[in-house]
Amino acid sequence: MTETQGDLAGLSRFIFQTPRWYASIALSLALAAVTGWLAFDSAFPLDDAWRGVFFVGVPTVTAGVLTPYIDRALGGQLTRDRSALLALACALLVVVTLLAAAILSVGLGLSQQFILDALLIALAAIFALRLLVLVAVSRQPPLQATLPASVQTVAAAVMLFVYSGSLHYLEVGGGPLVQTILARPEQAPIELQNSIYPFDFVMLAVICVVHAVAVWAFLAAIDRPWRSSLGVSVLDFIQGFIGHVAEGSRELETFFEELGEEAIVPVTVLSFRRPGGEEKARITLPMIHPGPMGEIGGGNLPVRLAERTDGLAFAPHATAGHDFNLVTESEVETICEAAERAYQEIEYTTTASAGVRTAEGDATLTGHAFGDDALVVNTFAPTFADDVAYAVGLSAAAEARTSSLETVLLVDAHNCNNGLDGPDLGHIVPGSQRSFDLIAGAGHLGERLTRADQHPLRLGIAHDETPWDPEDGIGPLGIRTAVVESGGHRTAYVLVDGNNMEPGLRDRIVAAIDGVDLVEVMTSDTHIVNTVEAENQVGQALPEAELVERIASLVEAAVEDIEPVEAGMASETAEVTVFGNDRTETLASHANAMIPMGAALAVVFVTAVLSVSVLIFAFVSGGPW
């Protein structure tokens, strides 16, 4: 993950779990009661609180309840939980605005009209906020979204119209218009009685139009770069991102599908079975990246592969970066089908070479030959490294096969990184020195494996789901160990279901393990742990000493489980839709730029709209308040 991509994943810190609708409604009513108690001045505090609930709470509850039904009737996607939270936020905005206006009125000696005008501007502001959210979340055209967006403002305006005595100023045929039916000024607080005029509602409508135009211009400004360079709308991204992180929805996958490109990826399977034919363990390696985050795309790929495996499943990290993220979870099924085809084609052998290790520059490669096939695991530890580019991995596997190996399963151990710190984030890209180290090392290891004597193969396995969860950096598959024995030589492979490791942890794990000749530690790079934060590497949150001790005991258990097995390997290809070359970096760059640019534009638009609104009221009222 590059720093830019890390910043993109880090945007999840701005998103929180949407509270249930009834919690937001209850908080709205409590806020309204407190507001009434502070704002109104009658002889009975409970009466003040009730008036607050009535005049502030009713429009809020009305908006929270009715908006999702109106929105969905028009083809939107607003949920009850989001609607109630939005109504609460708007009520809070109105309360804060009135409080600020009251303080200014007292401090500057302004009239009551100033506070009432501030109320009308606040009602227009919440209309603009609701319009912005509905267009972004429900993806409705701005004109169509005005109907559900106006519910809270209209409800508040109706309350003011009925209870402020405005109907006294409307007469038809010499008498008040349905005054006896609608007018209720005597039941309103004295602050509202006969203080709002019908023309004020005309002014409210005018500034609502001004706010709506500003929202449309703001959305057009931030959306233009996305459409020109990526051909998609930023609103689709915002909608999907919020829906996934806040409510676990799949809306983000629809956005990624529009970005995706077709790709052909190898899917390689190494299976171990007991002499009777029962599978004991299986390593499945599709050459894709298990991202982008959570369970979106291939984020939970290791679990999906494990569910389709008879023996103990190992799903380590392949040599592929974020450009090879699957765009939707449904693509995982295509990968699983290719893995099943490869599994059915496997021809087994009872022999294997001893474990072989070679080093080339920063690359350290460990592997075994099983007949004419080979398992190769590469690490750049103790130097920092992240993903190996797809092209580099293909080249390294091809180099290993030049020594007459048929199929090579090349694993990126993905086990030492310093997160997003430092100038070098560890990507192994074509043309870099470490890419040549890996390619040359794979060639040398392939030669040694081809020449190595093979002996009867034995295997032991053990696993533990661990007490940790994704918040601790550990996925649901926990820790899995396999000890391969050939000719009395034992090699332990440890797979942790996590996303990379803290610097030095891999070496401390290797040093703590006894009873074997070689050890390599891998992570699956599962991105189910990355809805917590952009990094969340193994060892970052959990107690390191306990992790090391647990792994050492699992290797001991695997040694005790050693028994004769047969092994075989085969590879198939799958045609899937992935993010595509450079698409991830482009998306991340645009998303990261959107935050400061959108914030700056928002400040400009809010300042301009408020200035226009204030000028309108100032000129209409004939001067300062």
Question: Which pLDDT score, from 0 to 100, does residue 21 have?
Answer: 86
Asked if 438 and 428 count as a contact pair (C-beta separation under 8 A), the reply is: yes
Which whole number is the average pLDDT over 356-366?
Answer: 97
Question: Measured between alpha carbons, how far is 241 from 238 in angstroms, rounded to an integer?
Answer: 5
- List pLDDT tens digits, range 243-291: 665 566 666 777 777 777 899 999 999 999 999 889 999 999 999 998 7
Q: Are residues 212 and 274 in the same domain?
A: no
Q: Show Cβ contacts of residue 319 under 8 Å, excluding neighbours closer than 6 positions.
A: 287, 387, 388, 389, 390, 392, 393, 394, 396, 397, 410, 412
* Of the listed ranges 259-263, 428-432, 489-493, 522-526, the one predicted with least confidence: 259-263
Question: Which pLDDT score, from 0 to 100, does residue 592 have?
Answer: 66
- Token pair in block for residue 323: 């450009």
Q: Are residues 268 and 126 in the same domain?
A: no
Please report the beta strands in 186-226, taking only residues with DSSP state E, as ranges in sequence order.
none
Q: Are residues 315 and 204 in the same domain?
A: no
Q: Are residues 427 and 306 in the same domain?
A: yes
- Classified as helix, coil or strand, 350 is coil
Q: Are residues 145 and 271 in the same domain?
A: no
- List pLDDT tens digits, range 220-231: 888 887 777 777
Q: Greater confidence, 263 or 237?
A: 263
Which whole number is the average pLDDT over 374-401?
Answer: 95
Q: Are residues 560 and 593 in the same domain?
A: no
Question: Measured between alpha carbons, how far is 218 from 220 in angstroms, rounded to an integer?
Answer: 5
Which whole number is the average pLDDT over 371-386?
Answer: 95
| Whether the bond into 19 is cis, omega within 30 of 0 | no
Q: Greater confidence, 537 or 599?
A: 537
Q: Are residues 239 and 284 in the same domain?
A: no
Per the domain annotation, does 95 fall within a domain? yes
Domain that holds residue 37: 3-246+585-620
Per the domain annotation, does 255 fall within a domain? no
Q: Show Cβ contacts of residue 109 under 8 Å, excluding neighbours closer than 6 positions.
A: none
Q: Is residue 30's pLDDT more than 70?
A: yes
Question: Which pLDDT score, from 0 to 100, does residue 152 have?
Answer: 93
Q: Greater confidence, 141 or 461?
A: 461
Q: Is residue 96's pLDDT more than 60?
A: yes
- List pLDDT tens digits, range 463-476: 999 999 988 999 99
Q: Residue 248: left (phi > 0), alpha (psi -120 to 50), or beta?
A: left
Q: Is residue 2's pLDDT more than 90?
A: no
Q: Is residue 180's pLDDT more than 50?
A: no
* Of the listed ranges 174-178, 318-322, 371-375, 475-479, the one predicted with least confidence: 174-178
* Of the listed ranges 252-256, 488-492, 493-497, 583-587, the one predicted with least confidence: 583-587
Sheet arrangement for strand 356-360: 356-360, 363-370, 373-379, 408-412
Which whole number is the average pLDDT over 407-416?
Answer: 97
Percentage of the chain modeled with pLDDT above 70: 80
Which whole number is the average pLDDT over 397-426?
Answer: 85
Tally the C-alpha atoms within 13 A of residue 618's C-alpha that lie toward its C-beta: 9
Q: Is residue 570's pLDDT more than 90?
A: yes
Q: Show Cβ contacts of residue 243 under 8 Å, excluding neighbours closer than 6 positions.
A: 137, 249, 250, 251, 252
Question: Which pLDDT score, from 0 to 100, does residue 185 have?
Answer: 46
Q: Are residues 209 and 267 in the same domain?
A: no
pLDDT band at 18 (very low <50, low <70, confident <90, very high): confident
- List pLDDT tens digits, range 600-613: 878 888 888 888 87
Question: Which pLDDT score, from 0 to 100, does residue 101 have?
Answer: 78
Q: Greater confidence, 110 or 211?
A: 211
Q: Is the pTM of this model over 0.85?
A: no
Which whole number is the average pLDDT over 545-569?
Answer: 97
Q: Are residues 444 and 553 in the same domain?
A: yes
Question: Which pLDDT score, from 0 to 100, does residue 173 have?
Answer: 43
Per the domain annotation, does 306 fall within a domain? yes
Calculate Rg over the CA atoms of the chain: 32
* Of the listed ranges 21-35, 160-174, 308-322, 488-502, the one predicted with least confidence: 160-174
Per the domain annotation, does 130 fall within a domain? yes
* Of the listed ranges 141-150, 178-187, 399-408, the one predicted with least confidence: 178-187
pLDDT band at 234 (very low <50, low <70, confident <90, very high): confident
Structural domains counted in the chain: 2
Tell me the C-alpha to C-alpha distance, in Å, between residue 576 and each of 52, 57, 336, 392, 404.
57, 51, 11, 20, 29
Q: Greater confidence, 3 or 495?
A: 495
Per the domain annotation, does 256 fall within a domain? no
Give me the helix-helix angle, 3-10 and 583-620, nearest 10°: 50
Question: Measured between alpha carbons, how far is 525 from 497 in angstroms, rounded to an integer?
Answer: 7
Q: Are residues 374 and 277 in the same domain?
A: yes
What is the chain's mean pLDDT, rounded? 84
Per the domain annotation, does 360 fall within a domain? yes
3-state secondary structure 379-393: ECCCCCCCCECHHHH
Q: Are residues 138 and 43 in the same domain?
A: yes
Q: Are residues 340 and 483 in the same domain?
A: yes
Q: Greater confidence, 360 or 470?
A: 360
Provide the terminal-to-terminal Cα distance of the chain, rounded to the nearest Å: 57
DSSP 304: H
